[in-house]
């Protein structure tokens, strides 16, 4: 140890080294690099915050961060408590610890054997000394200064001369720490952006936090003893203590829930003043329709259909949620509602979140309505079809819109293309939204606003596959009406779910081969479309090629989000007709796809999906009379993965699974949460029941005092921006 410091990276100026250091994720709270005397506004662009190159700016943009305000509202996924400082002499191997000490010696050299660049340091505190070691980070030699005091944090290992810290994180001791020695924010990242960079930028941005207006009425803040908004925003990033963090989280969750409550209640309030078309119950036709079905309706389907049919027979606009787990048979209930509307000579519309699903519904409903004098339209990004008088034809978009506004299409099925400006109905009386959680509030609202006839508002039926318990749903959505499908159709066999270890892969393939030989079909879901660098993560394209070799005599198909809608549709329709044995796909088949002959669902990289999402995938099989299986492949042996996936083995509904996931992994770590059927919040979740109730009560109270919100100008303004942002979704 000792000797001269050699930095084998050419002649780098100190400023250059600092800049490089920052780009590599180092700390940089040097005055000369701070925003150079510029006034800091909420609108200030991140690129004006000192040293941000174009590359970093671009990467940060991926996180939807462009301004100071975006930075302030970029919340941590979690915090690590690094506030405990350990004395050097008490360190033990394998311990993860933070120390505070003076840097006594720093040395950069090339390792004689593997030619790695080693940065070595000796650090001491009152209790003793320890050696620190970094590999291939020569610039550290310029960053550290012997004699200065630093915090270091990392895993203790045992070296030749006792305990060592290998590649510890570091931060100079300052009046206020950002990265170590405190409760430290950990942000969701994207490639090429480090925690240090984000913390650095956010800390600067928080200089403007005082400019954020606190829109919450004083009475509400007082009643629930909430922090004011700027303090909460500061504390959510850099909390003084655990208690402060808790209060910050409560305030910010409340804000979200409160705004959503206000919105729901206001919509309801406005709705109550409007009137809808009345479609009287077509008893004989409905009975005939039910008789024509190849199955018997469940009691739940009958009850729900009756509730809906009663609603649309009144002039009061229906606002009903049809709640039923995957496979419970919601589509036919929706069809019965549409039937009644259409037979009264009004139009109905059904909006689905994907083209695959929209065209599937079109096909299903075409079958169900066979022989009835009902014309159906299919409208997606890539297709406009008409089914009329027993003929299914593609027509031009122009012609399609003309027929729609002329009232020649009775029941329009489609994707969000339905809410395009050009799609005009002549007498829309019922709007149905399938998998409603996949649409923004704004999208649902615009479907409803497709008024066909002056002065009328269509009835709205929303369908969701994640059965939120009734009390929670009521608190969450205000006084929305809810129908439940509590049971599955008869004769459904429970799906057998298995976690397959890698050494059992061969046996699993044998099993799949037998299923195919018996005439069944198989889904294989992969986390990615294209091959990636991430070791062990399967992509649909690779898997497709690989399985072709393993199952040479089977017919394989490939579906993913990058295919053109025509191609996707073609693959799905071949799968539906039984012309594909194994469909390799990404999560595009997640929602709603219905292929009763499919009996095996294989999920690769299962640990990469949320539990509720896995439950949705599993729901793609077991929809017919065949015993079905869900095989979860995972390379991960982490205890978290095992306990999460094990949760799937018991029969659980999507709601319970999502709650479990949240408990096991913590918020912010739950991928696919949005896809799982819950209203989307940034920080709140549907499991914050106590806060939801408070938010509901507060929203109700404010609206009862002043439904126009005129006497709460800040709230009114916030509400309007919120509303506008929803419309832009």
Applying CB under 6 A, the residues found at the interface with ligand ADP are 295-298, 301, 324, 326-332, 465, 489, 592, 594, 596, 623
Task: Select from Mg ion, ligand ADP, none the partner in contact with residue 356, using the beta carbon and a kind-dependent cut-off of 5 to 8 Å.
Answer: none
Nearer to ligand ADP by C-beta: 484 or 712?
Answer: 484
Q: At closest approach, how far in Å is the CB of 324 from ligand ADP?
A: 5
Task: Select from ligand ADP, Mg ion, none the partner in contact with residue 230, using the beta carbon and a kind-dependent cut-off of 5 to 8 Å.
Answer: none
H or E stretch covering 338: helix 330-343
Task: Select from ligand ADP, Mg ion, none the partner in contact with residue 59, using the beta carbon and a kind-dependent cut-off of 5 to 8 Å.
Answer: none
Query: How many residues sit close enough to Mg ion to count as binding (CB under 5 A)?
Result: 1
Q: Is 558 exposed, middle or buried (0-12, 13-18, 19+ CB in 10 A)?
A: buried
Nearer to ligand ADP by C-beta: 181 or 321?
Answer: 321
The first and second tokens of residue 22, run together, are: 């920052």
DSSP line for 472-505: HHHHHHSS-EEEEE-SPPTTPPPPEEEEE-GGGH
Q: What whole-number distance in Å separates Cα of residue 721 and Cα of residue 729? A: 13
> What mask, x for binding Mg ion by CB under 5 A, covers residues 588 to 617?
----x-------------------------
Nearer to ligand ADP by C-beta: 119 or 331?
Answer: 331
The first and second tokens of residue 352, run together, are: 């689905």
Nearer to ligand ADP by C-beta: 331 or 443?
Answer: 331
Query: Interacting stretch for Mg ion, rule CB under 5 A, among 336-344, 584-592, 605-613, 652-660?
Result: 584-592
Nearer to ligand ADP by C-beta: 328 or 585?
Answer: 328
Nearer to Mg ion by C-beta: 21 or 438?
Answer: 438
Q: What whole-number distance in Å separates Cα of residue 28 and Cα of residue 179? A: 11
Nearer to ligand ADP by C-beta: 376 or 465?
Answer: 465
Nearer to ligand ADP by C-beta: 58 or 470?
Answer: 470
Q: At closest approach, how far in Å is the CB of 465 from ligand ADP?
A: 6
Task: Select from Mg ion, ligand ADP, none the partner in contact with residue 489, using the beta carbon and a kind-dependent cut-off of 5 to 8 Å.
Answer: ligand ADP
In 225-298, alpha helices (H)? 229-237, 242-271, 283-292
Q: Long-range pairs for 199-202 at CB < 8 Å and ≥24 separation?
A: 199/237, 200/22, 200/27, 200/28, 200/29, 201/46, 201/49, 201/52, 201/60, 201/71, 202/71, 202/72, 202/74, 202/237
What is the number of other CB atoms lying within 10 angstroms of the CB of residue 113?
Answer: 6
Query: In degrees rounded to 5, what are phi and psi of residue 275?
Result: -125, 155
Q: At closest approach, how far in Å is the CB of 327 from ligand ADP?
A: 5
| Whether 280 contacts 313, CB under 8 Å | yes
Q: At closest approach, how far in Å is the CB of 593 from ligand ADP?
A: 8
Q: At closest approach, how far in Å is the CB of 330 from Mg ion?
A: 5
Which one-letter DSSP state was computed for residue 664? Answer: H
Q: At closest approach, how far in Å is the CB of 489 from ligand ADP?
A: 3
Query: Interacting stretch for Mg ion, rule CB under 5 A, among 30-38, 54-62, 544-552, 585-593?
Result: 585-593
Per rule CB under 5 A, is residue 654 in the interface with Mg ion? no
Task: Select from Mg ion, ligand ADP, none the partner in contact with residue 182, using the beta carbon and a kind-dependent cut-off of 5 to 8 Å.
Answer: none
Nearer to ligand ADP by C-beta: 143 or 465?
Answer: 465
At 104 the three-state DSSP class reads strand
Distance between the two ends of the chain, CA-based, in angstroms? Answer: 60
Task: Select from Mg ion, ligand ADP, none the partner in contact with residue 437, using the beta carbon and a kind-dependent cut-off of 5 to 8 Å.
Answer: none
Q: At closest approach, how far in Å is the CB of 282 from Mg ion?
A: 24
Ordered strands of the 428-433 beta sheet: 391-394, 384-388, 376-379, 411-414, 347-351, 428-433, 459-464, 319-324, 481-485
Nearer to ligand ADP by C-beta: 384 or 676?
Answer: 676
Nearer to ligand ADP by C-beta: 485 or 647?
Answer: 485
How many Å separate Cα 42 from the centre of its chain?
Answer: 26
Q: What whole-number distance in Å separates Cα of residue 376 and Cα of residue 390? A: 10
Closest-CA residue to 380 (of 367, 366, 361, 407): 361
Task: Select from Mg ion, ligand ADP, none the partner in contact with residue 324, using the beta carbon and a kind-dependent cut-off of 5 to 8 Å.
Answer: ligand ADP
Residue in the shown chain whose Cβ atom is closest to ligand ADP: 329
Q: At closest approach, how far in Å is the CB of 305 from ligand ADP?
A: 11
Closest-CA residue to 386 (of 372, 400, 398, 373): 400
Q: Is 273 exposed, middle or buried (0-12, 13-18, 19+ CB in 10 A)?
A: exposed
Task: Select from Mg ion, ligand ADP, none the partner in contact with residue 543, using the beta carbon and a kind-dependent cut-off of 5 to 8 Å.
Answer: none
Task: Select from Mg ion, ligand ADP, none the partner in contact with residue 295, using the beta carbon and a kind-dependent cut-off of 5 to 8 Å.
Answer: ligand ADP
Going by DSSP bridges, is the β-strand pair 521-525/582-585 parallel, antiparallel, or unpaired? Answer: parallel
The first and second tokens of residue 637, run together, are: 């042996």
Query: Interacting stretch for Mg ion, rule CB under 5 A, among 185-193, 205-213, 587-595, 708-716?
Result: 587-595
Q: At closest approach, how far in Å is the CB of 456 from ligand ADP?
A: 28
Residues contributing to the site for Mg ion (CB under 5 A):
592
């Amino acid at each position: 140890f000792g000797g001269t410091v050699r930095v084998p990276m050419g002649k780098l100026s100190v400023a250059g080294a600092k800049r490089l250091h920052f780009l590599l994720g180092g700390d940089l709270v040097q005055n000369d690099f701070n925003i150079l005397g510029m006034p800091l506004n909420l609108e200030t662009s991140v690129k004006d915050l000192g040293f941000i190159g174009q590359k970093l700016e671009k990467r940060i943009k991926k996180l939807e961060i462009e301004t100071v305000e975006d930075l302030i509202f970029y919340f941590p996924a979690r915090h690590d408590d690094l506030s405990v400082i350990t004395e050097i002499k008490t360190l033990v191997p394998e311990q993860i610890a933070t120390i505070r000490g003076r840097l006594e010696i720093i040395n950069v050299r090339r390792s004689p054997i593997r030619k790695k660049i080693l940065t070595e340091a000796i650090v001491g505190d009152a209790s003793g000394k320890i050696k620190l070691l970094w590999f291939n980070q020569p610039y550290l030699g310029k960053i550290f200064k012997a004699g200065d005091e630093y915090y270091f944090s990392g895993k203790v290992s045992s070296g030749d001369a006792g305990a060592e810290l290998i590649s510890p994180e570091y931060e100079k001791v300052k009046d206020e720490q950002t990265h170590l020695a405190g409760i430290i924010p950990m942000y969701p990242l994207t490639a090429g952006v480090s925690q240090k960079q984000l913390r650095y930028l956010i800390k600067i941005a928080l200089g403007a936090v005082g400019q954020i207006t606190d829109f919450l009425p004083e009475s509400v803040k007082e009643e629930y003893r909430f922090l004011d908004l700027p303090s909460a925003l500061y504390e959510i990033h850099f909390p003084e203590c655990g208690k402060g963090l808790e209060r910050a989280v409560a305030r910010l969750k409340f804000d979200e829930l409160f705004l959503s409550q206000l919105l729901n209640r206001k919509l309801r309030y406005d709705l109550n003043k409007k009137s809808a078309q009345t479609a009287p119950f077509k008893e004989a036709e409905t009975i005939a329709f039910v008789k024509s079905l190849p199955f018997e309706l469940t009691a739940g389907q009958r009850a729900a259909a009756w509730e809906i049919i009663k609603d649309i027979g009144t002039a009061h606009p229906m606002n009903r949620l049809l709640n039923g787990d995957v496979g419970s048979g919601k589509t036919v209930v929706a069809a019965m509602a549409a039937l009644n509307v259409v037979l009264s000579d009004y139009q109905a519309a059904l909006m689905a979140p994907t083209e695959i699903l929209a065209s599937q519904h079109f096909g299903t409903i075409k079958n169900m309505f066979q022989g009835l004098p009902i014309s159906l339209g299919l409208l997606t990004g890539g297709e406009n079809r008409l089914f009329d008088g027993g003929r299914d034809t593609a027509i031009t978009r122009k012609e399609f819109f003309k027929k729609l506004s002329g009232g020649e299409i009775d029941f329009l099925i489609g994707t969000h293309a339905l809410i395009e400006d050009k799609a005009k109905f002549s007498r829309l009386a019922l709007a149905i939204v399938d998998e409603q959680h996949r649409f923004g509030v704004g999208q649902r609202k615009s479907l409803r606003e497709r008024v066909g006839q002056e002065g009328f508002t269509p009835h709205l039926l929303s369908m969701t596959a994640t059965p939120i318990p009734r009390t929670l749903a009521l608190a969450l959505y205000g006084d929305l009406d809810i129908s439940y499908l509590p049971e599955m159709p008869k004769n459904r066999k429970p799906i057998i779910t298995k976690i397959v270890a890698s050494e059992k892969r061969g046996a699993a393939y044998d099993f799949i081969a037998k299923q195919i030989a018996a005439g069944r079909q198989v889904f294989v879901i992969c986390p990615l479309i294209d091959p990636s660098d991430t070791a062990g993560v399967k992509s649909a394209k690779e898997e497709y090629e690989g399985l072709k070799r393993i199952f040479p005599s089977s017919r394989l198909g490939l579906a993913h989000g990058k295919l053109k809608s025509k191609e996707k549709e073609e693959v799905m329709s071949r799968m539906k007709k039984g012309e594909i044995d194994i469909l390799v796909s990404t999560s595009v088949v997640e929602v709603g796809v219905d292929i009763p002959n499919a009996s095996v669902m294989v999920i690769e990289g299962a640990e990469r999906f949320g539990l509720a999402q896995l439950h949705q995938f599993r729901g793609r099989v077991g929809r017919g009379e065949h015993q079905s299986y869900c095989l979860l492949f995972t390379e991960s042996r982490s205890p978290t993965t095992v306990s999460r996936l094990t949760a799937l083995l018991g029969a659980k509904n999507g709601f319970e699974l999502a709650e479990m996931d949240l408990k096991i992994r913590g918020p912010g770590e739950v991928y696919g949460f949005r896809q799982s059927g819950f209203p989307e919040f940034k920080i709140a979740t549907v499991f914050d029941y106590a806060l939801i109730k408070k938010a509901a009560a507060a929203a109700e109270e404010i609206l009862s005092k002043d439904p126009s919100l005129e006497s709460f100008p800040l709230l009114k303004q916030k509400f309007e921006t919120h509303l506008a942002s929803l419309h832009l979704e």
